[in-house]
C-alpha cells in the first residue's frame, strides 16, 4: 500500500482539504478553510501545515478566539450546515476562549471543528507555559473544558490516531441528528511528529446530508392524530431551514389548511406575508400565534427543541387533551414535552405526512380565524415601528427604520438583549436565511463576528448587524477583521447606556433598577463612550445619528459603501413592545422586604399554575 510520510498536522489539513460536498450540482470543499490565532501550542505544527496548504485550504486570522469561532459557527448556520470551518488556537487562554463558542454551537446543533493545541503527550517539559495542572489527574488539560460542549471529543496523542479520529469527526459534523461541535485536542509535540499515512486516506470524499425517513408505525400514528384534529397548528423550528424544507412546509400548510408559527431558529422558513404564517411564537411571539397555539388540539413541532421561549415555559400549549407531534431528526428532541415522536428528516417527514393526509384539510373556520388573527396583529404591531421622531426612539422604531431600508435578500444578524425579542415579533423576513438570530444560547458578543461569518457564507447578500451597546463592548474586534478581509457589514449600534433588557426584566420581577444601566452601577464617573470613533479606529466608516430620519438616510448611504459601516443611535432603555408575548418562568424570590417583590411573587405563583408538566 502506497503511503505518504507527513507530520500529524500536515495529515490533518490534507485530509480536511479532501472532504467535499455537492450543492446545486457544484462540487465544493466542505471546509471553507480555517480560522487561526497562533501561539506556541499550534504555530510550529499546525501553522506550518496550514501555510503549506494555503492555496487549497484558506487560513483566516481574527482578533479574538471566541470571535473567530462565532464567525465559523455563523458561516455554518448561514450555509444551512452544508459547509463549515475549523478553528485552531494555542493551549491555555486561546483554547478556553473558544469554550463559550463551543457551547453556542452545541445548543444550536451547528457544525464546527475545534483544533486547540494541547500539552505535550510525552510530558517531557511539563508543566509547559499555560498548562493547567490537576493535582489528582495527570491526564487533564484545559481542553477538557470542551468535553461537555462537544458532540465528539478526542485528544490526539499519537499521529496514527487521526486515521480513526478524523472519519469519526466528519460523521458527527455531517450527521443531521448528531450535528454539533467536534473538538480534537491536538498535543503540540504530536502535531510535529511524522507517520507513514496511507495515500488512500487522502482521497476526496463526497458527504451528502442524510435524509432519514419516518418509521411506519410513528408515521401512521401521526397521520391518524392529524386527521382527528379540529385545530391543528404547526411550529417551524430551525430544523426546517437546515433540512431546506421551507417549500415542503409551505405546501403542507396550504394544502391542509393548517396555520403555523416560527421559533427564533425557524423564522424566515415561511414568507412573512403568507396568510397562514402567524409569525413569531412564544415569549417573544405575536398575539396571533400565541392565541391559536393556546387553542390548538394538535401541535406539529417541526425541527424545534421546544425550549422555554417557544413553549411559554410549558404554559402556552394550554388546551386540555392536546397532543404534540415531535417531527425531528433527533429522537432526543422529538420526544420533548411528552410528544409523540416522528423521528425523521423535516423534508421527507413533511412529504410523507402530506401523502398520508391526501384529501384531508383542517376545518375552514380554523384557517379563517388564523387569517383574521394575523391581520389584527399587523394592525396592532404597525405603530411600534412607524417612523415617528422622538429624542430617544425605542428599539422597535429603529427596527422599523432598518426594515424600510432593507431588501428581501438582506440578512439581519442579532443575538442577545432586547433586540432578538423585538425582531422576532416585528421583523418581516424576506428570503429563507434572511433572519440570522442566535437565540439558542443568546450569546452577547456573537453579533458582529456572526455577521462576518454570515457574509462569508453569502457574499452576494447585504448583511445588517443589529447590536446593543452592551454586546458591542463585549466583543467588537471583528470589525477590524471584516475590514481586513473586505467583507462589508452594516452595523447598527443601539446605545441605551447599559443592559436595558435585563433592567426591564429586573423591574418586571419586582426588583429596583440596579447594576444594569450604567447610571445604576457603582461608579465615580460615567464613561462617555463614543462608539462611532471606536468603530472608526478599527477601520470602519462610522457615524452617530440623531433620530429615525437621519438613521434611514445613513442606511441608504451605507448600502452603497464598499466597506463596513457602523451607525450609532441613542435609544430609550425603558421602552419595549408590550403587544404580543406570553409568560416566561423567571423565578421571583419567595421572601423579600420589598412589597414590589412580594407582589411579583404572588403573580409568579399564580402563573405557575398554568404550566402543564405531566401531559
pLDDT for residue 14? 98
Q: Name the packing angle between helices 419-426 and 395-404 (round to 10°).
A: 50
Q: Return mean pLDDT, the chain.
A: 96
Q: Name the packing angle between helices 346-356 and 216-227 (round to 10°).
A: 60
pLDDT band, residue 388 (cuts 50/70/90): confident
Mean pLDDT of 456-481: 97
Asked if 552 and 404 count as a contact pair (C-beta separation under 8 A), the reply is yes
pLDDT for residue 475? 97
pLDDT in tens, 411-434: 999 999 999 999 999 999 999 999
pLDDT for residue 615? 61
**What does the DSSP 8-state code read for residue 53?**
T
pLDDT band, residue 198 (cuts 50/70/90): very high
Q: Where are the beta strands (DSSP E) in 303-384?
A: 323-328, 340-343
Instruction: Give the predicted TM-score (pTM) of the model.
Output: 0.97
Mean pLDDT of 333-337: 95
Distance CA 213, CA 429 (A): 30
**What does the DSSP 8-state code read for residue 465?**
E
Distant-in-sequence, close-in-space partners of 99: CB < 8 Å, separation ≥ 6: 145, 146, 149
Residue 136 CA to its chain's centroid (Å): 37
**Between the CA of residue 85 and those of 74, 209, 552, what are the distances in Å?**
10, 17, 35
pLDDT in tens, 539-562: 999 999 999 999 999 999 999 999
Mean pLDDT of 218-233: 98
pLDDT for residue 389? 78
Q: What is the CA radius of gyration of the chain?
A: 25
Distance CA 347, CA 291 (A): 27
Question: Which residue reads 401523502 in cell numbers?
Answer: 355
Q: How far apart are the first and last CA of the chain?
A: 60
Q: Do 216-377 and 386-570 fold alike per CATH?
A: yes
pLDDT band, residue 321 (cuts 50/70/90): confident
Residue 557 CA to its chain's centroid (Å): 29
Parse the chain into domains and list their residue ranges. 3-206, 216-377, 386-570
pLDDT band, residue 319 (cuts 50/70/90): confident
Mean pLDDT of 101-121: 98
pLDDT in tens, 31-89: 999 999 999 999 999 999 999 999 999 999 999 999 999 999 999 999 999 999 999 99
Q: Residue 568's beta-bridge partner residues?
A: 493, 544
User: Please, is 403 exposed, middle or buried when counting C-beta atoms within 10 Å of its C-beta (0-12, 13-18, 19+)?
Assistant: middle
Distance CA 212, CA 177 (A): 9
Asked if 303 and 442 count as a contact pair (C-beta separation under 8 A), the reply is no
**What does the DSSP 8-state code read for residue 302?**
E
Candidate from 199-213, 332-346, 410-424, 600-614 with smallest mean pLDDT:
600-614
pLDDT for residue 320? 83
What CATH number is given for 216-377 in this structure?
3.40.50.1220
Which of 181, 179, 119 lies closest to 147 in space, CA to CA? Answer: 181
pLDDT in tens, 67-78: 999 999 999 999
Distance CA 385, CA 402 (A): 10
pLDDT band, residue 488 (cuts 50/70/90): very high
Nine-digit cell string for 436: 440570522
Residue 198 CA to its chain's centroid (Å): 38
Other beta carbons within 10 Å of 596: 13
pLDDT in tens, 514-541: 999 999 999 999 999 999 999 999 999 9
pLDDT for residue 614? 67
Distance CA 411, CA 455 (A): 9
pLDDT for residue 1? 79
- CA-angle at 611, arms to 608 and 615, nearest 5°: 150
Q: CATH number of 3-206: 3.30.420.40, 2.60.40.150, 1.10.10.60, 3.40.50.970?
A: 3.40.50.970
DSSP state letters, 270-295: S-TT-TTEEEE-STT--HHHHHHHHH
Helix (H, G, I), strand (E, B) or coil at 1: coil
Asked if 481 and 98 count as a contact pair (C-beta separation under 8 A), the reply is no
Mean pLDDT of 202-206: 97
Sheet with 565-570, edge to edge strand ranges: 435-437, 411-414, 463-468, 490-495, 565-570, 541-545
Distance CA 116, CA 305 (A): 29
Asked if 124 and 47 count as a contact pair (C-beta separation under 8 A), the reply is no
pLDDT for residue 612? 82
Q: Which CATH class is domain 386-570?
A: alpha beta
Amino acid at each position: 500500500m502506497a503511503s505518504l510520510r507527513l507530520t500529524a498536522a500536515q495529515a490533518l489539513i490534507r485530509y480536511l482539504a479532501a472532504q467535499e460536498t455537492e450543492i446545486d450540482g457544484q462540487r465544493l470543499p466542505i471546509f471553507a478553510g480555517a480560522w487561526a490565532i497562533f501561539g506556541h501550542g499550534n504555530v510550529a505544527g499546525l501553522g506550518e501545515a496550514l501555510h503549506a496548504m494555503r492555496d487549497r485550504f484558506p487560513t483566516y486570522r481574527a482578533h479574538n478566539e471566541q470571535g473567530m469561532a462565532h464567525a465559523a459557527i455563523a458561516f455554518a448556520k448561514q450555509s444551512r450546515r452544508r459547509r463549515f470551518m475549523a478553528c485552531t488556537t494555542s493551549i491555555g487562554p486561546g483554547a478556553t476562549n473558544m469554550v463559550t463558542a463551543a457551547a453556542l454551537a452545541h445548543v444550536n446543533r451547528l457544525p464546527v471543528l475545534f483544533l486547540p493545541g494541547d500539552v505535550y503527550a510525552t510530558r517531557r517539559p511539563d508543566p509547559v507555559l499555560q498548562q493547567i495542572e490537576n493535582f489528582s489527574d495527570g491526564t487533564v488539560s484545559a481542553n477538557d473544558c470542551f468535553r461537555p460542549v462537544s458532540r465528539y471529543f478526542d485528544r490526539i496523542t499519537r499521529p496514527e490516531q487521526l486515521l480513526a479520529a478524523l472519519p469519526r469527526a466528519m460523521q458527527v459534523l455531517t450527521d443531521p441528528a448528531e450535528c454539533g461541535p467536534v473538538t480534537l485536542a491536538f498535543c503540540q509535540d504530536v502535531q510535529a511528529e511524522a507517520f507513514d499515512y496511507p495515500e488512500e486516506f487522502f482521497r476526496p470524499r463526497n458527504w451528502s446530508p442524510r435524509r432519514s425517513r419516518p418509521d411506519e408505525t410513528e408515521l401512521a400514528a401521526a397521520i391518524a392524530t392529524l386527521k382527528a384534529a379540529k385545530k391543528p397548528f404547526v411550529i417551524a423550528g430551525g430544523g426546517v431551514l437546515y433540512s431546506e424544507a421551507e417549500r415542503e412546509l409551505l405546501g403542507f400548510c396550504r394544502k391542509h389548511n393548517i396555520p403555523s408559527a416560527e421559533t427564533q431558529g425557524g423564522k424566515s422558513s415561511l414568507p412573512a406575508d403568507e396568510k397562514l404564517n402567524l409569525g413569531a411564537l412564544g415569549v417573544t411571539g405575536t398575539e396571533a400565534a400565541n392565541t391559536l397555539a393556546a387553542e390548538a388540539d394538535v401541535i406539529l413541532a417541526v425541527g424545534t427543541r421546544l425550549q422555554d421561549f417557544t413553549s411559554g415555559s410549558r404554559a402556552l400549549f394550554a388546551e386540555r387533551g392536546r397532543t404534540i407531534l415531535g417531527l425531528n431528526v433527533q429522537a432526543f428532541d422529538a420526544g420533548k414535552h411528552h410528544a409523540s415522536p416522528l423521528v425523521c428528516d423535516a423534508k421527507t417527514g413533511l412529504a410523507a405526512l402530506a401523502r398520508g393526509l391526501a384529501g384531508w384539510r383542517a376545518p375552514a373556520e380554523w384557517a379563517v380565524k388564523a387569517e383574521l388573527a394575523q391581520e389584527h396583529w399587523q394592525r396592532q404591531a404597525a405603530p411600534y415601528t412607524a417612523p415617528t421622531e422622538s429624542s430617544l426612539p425605542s428599539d422597535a422604531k429603529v427596527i422599523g427604520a432598518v426594515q424600510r431600508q432593507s431588501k428581501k435578500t438582506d440578512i439581519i444578524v442579532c443575538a442577545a438583549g432586547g433586540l432578538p425579542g423585538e425582531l422576532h415579533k416585528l421583523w418581516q423576513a424576506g428570503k429563507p436565511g434572511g433572519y440570522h438570530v442566535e437565540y439558542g444560547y443568546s450569546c452577547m458578543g456573537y453579533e458582529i463576528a456572526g455577521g462576518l461569518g454570515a457574509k462569508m457564507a453569502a457574499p452576494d447578500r447585504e448583511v445588517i448587524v443589529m447590536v446593543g451597546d452592551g454586546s458591542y463592548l463585549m466583543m467588537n474586534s471583528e470589525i477590524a477583521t471584516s475590514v481586513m478581509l473586505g467583507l462589508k457589514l452594516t452595523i447598527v449600534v443601539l446605545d441605551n447606556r447599559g443592559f436595558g433588557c435585563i433592567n426591564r426584566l429586573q423591574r418586571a420581577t419586582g426588583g429596583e433598577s440596579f447594576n444594569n444601566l450604567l447610571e445604576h452601577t457603582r461608579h465615580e464617573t460615567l464613561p462617555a463612550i463614543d462608539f462611532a470613533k471606536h468603530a472608526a479606529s478599527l477601520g470602519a466608516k462610522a457615524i452617530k445619528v440623531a433620530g429615525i430620519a437621519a438613521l434611514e438616510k445613513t442606511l441608504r448611504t451605507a448600502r452603497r459603501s464598499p466597506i463596513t459601516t457602523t451607525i450609532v443611535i441613542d435609544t430609550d432603555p425603558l421602552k419595549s413592545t408590550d403587544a404580543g408575548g406570553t409568560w416566561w418562568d423567571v423565578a421571583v424570590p419567595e421572601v423579600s422586604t420589598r412589597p414590589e417583590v412580594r407582589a411579583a411573587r404572588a403573580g409568579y405563583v399564580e402563573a405557575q399554575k398554568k404550566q402543564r408538566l405531566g401531559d
